[in-house]
């Protein structure tokens, strides 16, 4: 495909005549099927999805497909030249469609605490073939790192409707010393760098083949093949000369990081050796991602093989450098828990040290009032909250509390115990008068607030009340403080009281006001019975039953199970929201209710929202029944009798092959043989969670195997835990007396 160029398109910023010899800082030839850089001043591995590499070229294969590289070191910000060699169909330049060739966003790390500088700092650029068949170089000013909220300022626009297809070279160069922009596409045109931009700043991400905005509705797939990408730190003229002379700096193309080449413990058992390496790869990936972030924490998922962290499955690009998230089910605290569990299971001090880095970060960030903010950016040796938001749901408080207590159990350090108790004291004080917990806490008013900022409303959504119930009951057992138990059971009583059973629908709303009436939240979250409400309420009710053996905490769940079984929308599926008064399925968009049993309203909803209403499996009654059954039969988890070494050896032998078959051969578990890791498919490509449940289970088996060999004391309490499928309070709790 690397044939003679049919067209040369040049876009450049005017350069100093006395420019020094350029150096290539980044080069991706797309040889073979590889998408990572042969030359890189920084991270050579990209993230992205909706693409393929074949015949030595990259092609974007979906509307929101893209590839993106960390640009902080790969792309010089004072002066540089970025070039793409593309191969386009004959009508590409005149097809009347929008195509984005690249987007180059600037970082806000280092100025995050000074948002006024976002308006004047850094030159963010993107290049588009427009619907008018022009080639437009655009500057983005203000906004964050995704270009989503930036002001768009076209710098130069050139008519390309007369250009032919074939192979073309497109180049962008910048030099802040001259502050002029030149576009050459046959003729040469000049423009100035926007006057409001007063200083250069490091770049954040280089996106190829689509836009740098986060919204799926604002994507412009390239529609042409990319043969190569090159970035140099010199003038355009020097770059052009190097292309003519075929200059390319000799280098060995990088390979994905080796996270575990050989087992160090189970060298004489092939299957256990494989399990050991799989777990070490995940643990090592967390440590390296922690080092890259520099903050001590992570976002929700670690992309492979770049080890950049992203906001879960729907996220296109990473947040700014140094960002970490303290919210959602698998947040930073659970990454620390997974590392601590890796230390317990494998005995490697390095994992405990990494877990303590996270723990020490949380110690530093805990307020005098005992709470943590939603998320932070680490810059200039300071942690800057991304917004003033003391979130109560999504394990934003209970996750770090659990980590503090686990680290206290492992290390005996009083500072962790004290931090965990300060957190529990805060949760007890933040409880609403009706027994619930709200969406967020307003420290100035000293009250919980709903998503609509009304005071005293209760939250079922995202474990808003169940999370504190569980945590406070466990803290009561760990500390002996009766006030924690009292607060938790008042929360469980509230869940019983607000359960809706009116003959039309049975379950919980996601949010309530202070008078326990269902209320809406975001523009698409109506006042309704949410089918996920039972999943959110169940852990808190089960924990209250464990504590009291009072059947009234399980009765609401049994009633929901019966309603779900009798009201399937499709076999094994339900609608997400049901109107409280009528039980009709609904969805809301921009605060307007649409009834999903009315085809005309379904059509209208799809038109205004761009979404098709679908049923879901999240309400599965079998999962709820499992919660109820476990609460009765195994209130503190699956705990075995005190083990013997022979018994542990037999257990390991009986379990190993079954785990291998389930985790490694079952496609639903996401084992990637090439990487040797459990990876999910996300918008950003392949990624791992911060505490993969498969590895949690495998580490439990490896710990028992070490104990069978005599490497772990036989009276270690964690040896009595079975099937730890997720990191939970079991990690911090001792085995109850008498069991």
CA–CA separation, 285 vs 511, rounded Å?
37
| Structural contact between residues 521 and 511, judged by C-beta atoms closer than 8 angstroms | yes
Instruction: Express the helix, strand and coil content of the chain in percent, nearest 5 each.
Output: 35, 25, 45
Inform me whether the pLDDT recorded for 8 exceeds 70: no
Bridging pattern class, strands 166-175 and 7-8: parallel
pLDDT confidence of residue 4: 34
Mean pLDDT of the chain: 92
pLDDT in tens, 144-165: 899 988 899 999 898 989 888 8
CA–CA separation, 252 vs 530, rounded Å?
55
Average pLDDT over residues 406-429: 98
Inform me whether the pLDDT recorded for 12 exceeds 70: no
pLDDT confidence of residue 168: 84
Inform me whether the pLDDT recorded for 676 exceeds 50: yes
| Structural contact between residues 302 and 282, judged by C-beta atoms closer than 8 angstroms | no
CA–CA separation, 529 vs 576, rounded Å?
8
More confident residue, 243 or 685: 685
pLDDT-derived band at 66 (thresholds 50, 70, 90) equals very high
Q: Is 373 exposed, middle or buried (0-12, 13-18, 19+ CB in 10 A)?
A: buried
pLDDT-derived band at 344 (thresholds 50, 70, 90) equals very high
Measured N-to-C along each axis, helices 466-479 and 414-429 cross at an angle, to the nearest 10 degrees, of 130
In eight-state DSSP terms, residue 193 is: P
CA–CA separation, 127 vs 98, rounded Å?
11
pLDDT confidence of residue 682: 87
DSSP letters spanning 433-488: TTS---SEEETTTTEEE-TT--BT--B-GGGTTHHHHHHHHHHHHHH--HHHHHHH
Inform me whether the pLDDT recorded for 6 exceeds 60: no
Residues 6+ apart with CB under 8 A from 522: 451
401: closest CA among 331, 352, 494?
331
Average pLDDT over residues 485-498: 98
DSSP letters spanning 487-526: HHHHHHHHHHHH-EESSS-EEB-SBB-TTS-B---STT--
pLDDT-derived band at 1 (thresholds 50, 70, 90) equals very low
pLDDT confidence of residue 240: 66
Q: What are the helix (H) ranges across 578-636?
A: 599-609, 621-633
pLDDT confidence of residue 248: 53
pLDDT in tens, 422-452: 999 999 999 999 999 999 999 999 999 999 9
Residue 247 has phi, psi (to 5 degrees) of -70, 130
pLDDT-derived band at 244 (thresholds 50, 70, 90) equals low
Inform me whether the pLDDT recorded for 605 exceeds 50: yes
What is the percent of the chain where pLDDT is above 70? Answer: 94
| Structural contact between residues 690 and 331, judged by C-beta atoms closer than 8 angstroms | yes
Inform me whether the pLDDT recorded for 26 exceeds 70: yes
CA–CA separation, 109 vs 71, rounded Å?
13
CA–CA separation, 277 vs 171, rounded Å?
44
CA–CA separation, 139 vs 157, rounded Å?
12
CA–CA separation, 116 vs 452, rounded Å?
28
510: closest CA among 603, 618, 664, 633?
618
Residue 503 has phi, psi (to 5 degrees) of 90, -15
Bridging pattern class, strands 685-689 and 166-175: unpaired
Inform me whether the pLDDT recorded for 141 exceeds 60: yes
Residues 6+ apart with CB under 8 A from 562: 506
pLDDT confidence of residue 246: 58
More confident residue, 176 or 736: 176
Q: Say how many C-beta atoms besides its own lie within 10 A of residue 641's C-beta.
A: 8
Average pLDDT over residues 324-348: 96
In eight-state DSSP terms, residue 392 is: -
Residues in the chain: 739
The helix (run of H) or strand (run of E) holding residue 458 is none
Find the Cα–Cα–Cα–Cα dihedral 545, 547, 550, 551, rounded to 10°: 20
The distance from CA 694 to its chain's CA centroid, rounded to whole angstroms, is: 18
């Amino acid at each position: 495909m690397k044939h003679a160029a049919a067209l040369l398109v040049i876009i450049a910023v005017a350069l100093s005549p006395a420019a020094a010899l350029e150096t290539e800082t980044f080069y991706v030839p797309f040889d073979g099927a590889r998408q990572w850089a042969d030359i890189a001043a920084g991270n050579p591995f990209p993230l992205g999805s909706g693409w393929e590499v074949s015949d030595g070229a990259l092609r974007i294969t979906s509307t929101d497909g893209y590839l993106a590289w960390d640009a902080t070191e790969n792309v010089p910000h004072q002066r540089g030249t970025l070039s793409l060699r593309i191969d386009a169909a004959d009508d590409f330049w005149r097809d009347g469609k929008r195509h984005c060739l690249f987007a180059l966003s600037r970082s806000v790390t280092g100025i995050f605490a000074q948002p006024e500088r976002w308006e004047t700092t850094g030159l963010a650029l993107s290049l588009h073939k427009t619907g008018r068949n022009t080639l437009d170089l655009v500057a983005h000013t203000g906004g964050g790192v995704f270009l989503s909220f930036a002001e768009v300022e076209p710098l130069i626009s050139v008519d390309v409707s007369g250009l032919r297809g074939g192979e073309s070279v497109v180049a962008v160069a910048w030099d802040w010393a001259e502050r002029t922009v030149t576009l050459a596409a046959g003729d040469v045109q000049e423009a100035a760098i926007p006057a409001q931009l007063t200083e250069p700043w490091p770049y954040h991400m280089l996106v190829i083949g689509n836009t740098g905005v986060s919204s799926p509705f604002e994507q412009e797939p390239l529609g042409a093949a990319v043969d190569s990408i090159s970035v140099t730190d010199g003038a355009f003229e020097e770059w052009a000369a190097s292309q003519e002379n075929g200059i390319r700096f000799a280098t060995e193309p990088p390979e994905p990081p080796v996270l575990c080449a050989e087992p160090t413990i189970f060298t004489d058992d092939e299957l256990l050796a494989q399990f050991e390496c799989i777990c070490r790869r995940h643990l090592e990936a967390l440590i390296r991602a922690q080092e890259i972030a520099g903050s001590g924490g992570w976002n929700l998922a670690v992309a492979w093989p770049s080890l950049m962290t992203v906001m879960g499955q729907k996220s296109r690009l990473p947040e700014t450098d140094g960002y970490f998230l303290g919210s959602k089910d698998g947040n930073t605290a659970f990454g620390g828990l997974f590392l601590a569990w890796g230390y317990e299971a494998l005995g490697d001090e390095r994992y405990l040290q990494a877990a303590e880095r996270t723990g020490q970060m949380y110690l530093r960030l805990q307020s005098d009032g005992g709470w943590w903010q939603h998320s932070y950016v680490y810059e200039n040796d300071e942690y800057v909250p991304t917004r003033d938001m003391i979130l109560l749901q999504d394990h934003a408080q209970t996750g770090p509390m659990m980590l503090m207590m686990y680290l206290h159990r492992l290390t005996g350090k009083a500072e962790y115990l004290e931090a965990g108790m300060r957190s529990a004291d805060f949760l007890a004080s933040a409880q609403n008068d009706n027994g619930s917990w709200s969406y967020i806490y307003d420290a100035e008013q000293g009250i919980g607030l709903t998503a609509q900022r009304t005071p005293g409303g209760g939250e079922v959504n995202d474990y808003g009340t169940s999370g504190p119930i569980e945590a406070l009951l466990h803290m009561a057992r760990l500390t002996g403080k009766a006030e924690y138990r009292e607060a938790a059971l008042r929360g469980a009583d509230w869940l019983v009281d607000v359960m809706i059973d009116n003959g039309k629908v049975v379950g919980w709303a996601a949010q309530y006001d202070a008078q326990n009436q269902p209320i809406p939240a975001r523009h698409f979250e109506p006042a309704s019975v949410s089918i996920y409400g039972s999943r959110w309420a169940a852990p808190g009710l089960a924990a209250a039953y464990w504590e009291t053996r009072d059947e009234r905490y399980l009765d609401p769940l049994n009633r929901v199970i019966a309603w779900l079984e009798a009201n399937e929308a499709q076999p094994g599926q339900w609608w997400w929201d049901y109107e409280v008064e009528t039980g009709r399925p609904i969805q809301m968009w921009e605060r307007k209710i649409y009834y999903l049993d009315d085809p005309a309203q379904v059509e209208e909803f799809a038109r205004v929202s761009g979404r098709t209403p679908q049923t879901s499996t999240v309400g599965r009654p079998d999962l709820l029944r499992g919660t109820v059954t476990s609460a009765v039969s195994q209130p503190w988890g699956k705990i075995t009798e005190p083990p013997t070494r022979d018994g542990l050896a037999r257990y390991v032998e009986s379990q190993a092959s079954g785990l291998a078959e389930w985790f490694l051969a079952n496609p639903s578990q996401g084992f990637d043989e090439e990487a040797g890791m459990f990876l999910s498919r996300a918008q950003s490509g392949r990624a791992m969670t911060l505490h993969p449940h498969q590895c949690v289970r495998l580490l439990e088996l490896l710990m028992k195997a070490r104990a069978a060999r005599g490497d772990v004391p036989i009276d270690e309490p964690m040896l009595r835990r079975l099937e730890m499928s997720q990191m939970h309070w079991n990690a911090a709790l001792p085995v109850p007396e008498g069991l």
